[in-house]
Structure 1
Amino acid sequence: MENDIRAPDAISRFPVADLSLAMETRRPDGNPALLFAHGFGQTRGAWGGAAAALAQAGCRCVTFDARGHGESDRVAGGADAKSGYHMDQFADDLLRLAVAQPQPPILVGASMGGLLGIVLAGEMRPSPFRALVLVDITPRWETAGVERILAFMQAHPDGFANYADAAEQIAAYLPQRRERKSEQQLRPLLRESADGRLRWHWDPALLAGDLVQESERYQPRLQAAATKIDVPVLLLSGARSDVVSRATVDEFLQLVPHARHVELPHATHMVAGDANDAFTREVVRFVQSLDPLPAGRRVAGAVQSQ
């Protein structure tokens, strides 16, 4: 896809505090800038279709793998390391990526990526983001839905015998998807271990540590941060989601009364994957509604642990 603005540049390495992240940029000279933050257990590949379409629409689109995910570095020592994996580390990584953009980016954050955006946008002045697109996530969520996701992530500790085996398990987990993932689609999601088994791309230490429990304790902080968000916000939710509900959406809209909410009727928590065309259409509409960025607007600073 030479010279195709929808295709990413070669994978680059973005240095953060103690490791480096795998990053791709589509249409580097595009405007405005969009920074995509995936959910827990996902990779930058979750945004492939949307990022390509938005690059075609003229946007600079940056996707990356969070620490411990995909092709990004893992924390040395994993769960046994003193640092382990913590929410503030993920937030600081995201802030560093935002600061590195030529202009304050519009954050498109799914699940964990959206939570990090809420914290940074609410607690920092000026906000490191021009606007927020939150993808099926609110400061308080439905525990049962998160537990279902974690159960799937923990269900195959010995990995898979082959790609067909993995595709079958994913199809059972995502019955709303009409097509099974091909080997080509699965390759970025799996790693071949020394024993020949295929295992997920993410560091098992992400589940072995305190990160999941820590995210639950983050909820009061997230709710407080949401009340201080002063940039435009679009919440895109899936009508079939078991992670957000009418109650959590209504609560969020009370915390952030200037936010817009659009519910996609055929989507689950995996909004971009379930309804990519509708998702992309709503993001384009939101981006086009934003006021021009003031000249000289920059971001600076670092997230502080609380």
Structure 2
Amino acid sequence: MVLQAVFVHGIRTSSTMWRAQVGHLAERGIPSVAVDLPAHGTRILEAFVLDEAFATIDAAVRDAATRGPVLLVGHSMGGLLSIAYAGREDPPPVAGFIAASCTAFPRGAGLAAYRLATHALTALPDQGRWIADRVLEATLPLETRADFGAGGYAFFAQNTALKSLAALDLPAALRRISVPTWFVNGQYDQLRVNEQVFCRLVPHAELIVVPRTTHLVTAMRPRVFNAVLDLAAATLQSADPARTPT
């Protein structure tokens, strides 16, 4: 059986944000799937519902687990959802976990401010597309720049999705995560605010901070993030060499 990877995207973007990572793993003989959460990407006409988001992750993980051990990888909102999923009381079939750009608890004044900002952007004539495109042009390399928006932007799902995240009991979920875990943050990521708390709640986790990088660490420094994937794959292989590719 061969190691499998399941990727869960962040808010507003889609499965296309993982193109560099999917291609990297394919070159190494590691199959992967990148899901679209409800109201995002190919499912942009759906409503965002938390239970359906978890069902999407669970279906992908359980399907992949029929072919080998699963490395779950989530970014931002997808990382928070994946934390809640990986840390269920009845553990899902996840062998390893990478949580990128998501070491902040979605609650309180910080969440309220972010929701206000997204509401203001969505109220613009282009729903903030021009601003989003300028930010990507200024921060992302050409090789990944088009990937974030290739599946469309779920501008109108943002407020509902953000509100839903406040219902997650992340401290409890974090305490229950027992598989090899990596927290990956950009040096200038605003969601590093609870980084040390997350590490205390998952004491076996490794923290990787990527210098000169913002929240979009997977696309801003794709080679560095791909190296983390290689680290995770090697770790899971060493734990059970008969079940992962060499």
TM-score normalised per structure 2: 0.82
Aligned to 2:70: 105
Task: Confirm or deny: 8 A CA contact 2:183 2:208 kept in the other structure.
Answer: yes
Which string of whole-angstrom CA distances, capped at 9 and with x for unpartnered residues, describes residues 149-195 of structure 1?
A: 8735751446549xxx955652147743366998x7687344xxxxx
Which of residues 10, 23, 35 is equivalent to 1:39? 10
User: Which residue identity does 1:260 align to in structure 2?
Assistant: E
- AA aligned to 1:233 is T
Does residue 254 in structure 1 map to residue 216 in structure 2?
A: no
- In structure 2, the CA distance between the partners of 1:154 and 1:98, relative to structure 1 (3 Å rule), is farther
CA drift at 1:289? 1.5
Structure 1 residue 228 corresponds to structure 2 residue 193: no
For 1:155, what is the secondary structure of its paired residue? helix
> Could you tell me which residue of structure 1 aligns to residue 79 of structure 2?
114
Match of 2:191 in 1: 243
Q: Cα–Cα, structure 1 residues 275 and 121, in superposed 2: closer, same or farther, change >3 Å?
A: same
Q: Aligned-pair distance for 1:141?
A: 5.3
**Map of 1:123 onto structure 2:** 88
Are the aligned partners of 1:144 and 1:243 in contact in 2 as well (CA < 8 Å)? no
2:212 is matched with which residue? 266
CA distance in 2, matches of 1:55, 1:180: 17
Change (3 A) 1:282 1:72: same
Question: How far did 1:71 drift?
Answer: 1.1
CA distance in 2, matches of 1:277, 1:153: 33
2:53 to 75, 87, 90: 90
Pick aligned residue for 1:52 from 23, 36, 50 = 23
Q: How far is the alpha carbon of 1:240 from its aligned partner?
A: 0.7
- Contact 1:120–1:128 (CA under 8 A) maintained in structure 2: no
Structure 2: how far apart are the matches of 1:126 and 1:169? 37
The residue type paired with residue 95 of structure 2 is R
- Aligned partners of 1:116 and 1:226: how far apart in 2? 11
Structure 1: gaps spanning 5 or more residues:
1-29, 79-84, 191-199, 296-306
Residue ranges of structure 2 left out of the alignment (5+ in a row): none
> In the superposition, relative to structure 1, how do residues 180 and 273 fare at CA in structure 2: closer, same or farther (>3 Å)?
closer
Task: Please tell me whether the aligned partners of residues 133 and 234 of structure 1 are also in contact (alpha carbons under 8 angstroms).
Answer: yes
Whole-angstrom CA distance in 2 between matches of 1:269 and 1:146:
19
**Pairing 1:1-306 to 2, within 5 Å after superposition:** 31-72=2-43, 74-75=45-46, 78=47, 85-101=48-64, 102-138=67-103, 140=105, 144=110, 147-148=113-114, 151-152=117-118, 154-157=120-123, 160=126, 166=129, 169-172=132-135, 175-177=138-140, 188-190=150-152, 200=153, 202=154, 204=156, 206-207=157-158, 209=160, 211-218=161-168, 221-245=169-193, 248-290=194-236, 291-292=239-240
Larger Rg: 1
C-alpha contact (below 8 Å) 1:144/1:242 kept by paired residues: no
| Bigger helix share | 2
Paired residue total: 238
- Does the aligned pair in 2 maintain the 1:66–1:90 contact within 8 Å? yes
CA distance in 2, matches of 1:186, 1:267: 16
**How big is each residue's C-alpha offset from its partner over 1:30-84, in whole Å with a ceiling of 9 and x where there is no partner?**
9310000001111111111111011112211111211111112633xx4xxxxxx
Q: Distance in 2 between matches of 1:40 and 1:169?
A: 13
For 1:181 and 1:253, the matched residues in 2 are separated by 29
State the alpha-carbon separation in 1 of the partners of residues 105 and 131 from structure 2.
Answer: 32
Alignment CA distance shift 1:236-1:186 (3 Å): closer
Two-structure CA RMSD over aligned residues (Å): 3.2
Q: Identity, % of aligned pairs?
A: 21
Residue 73 of structure 2 aligns to a residue whose secondary structure is: strand
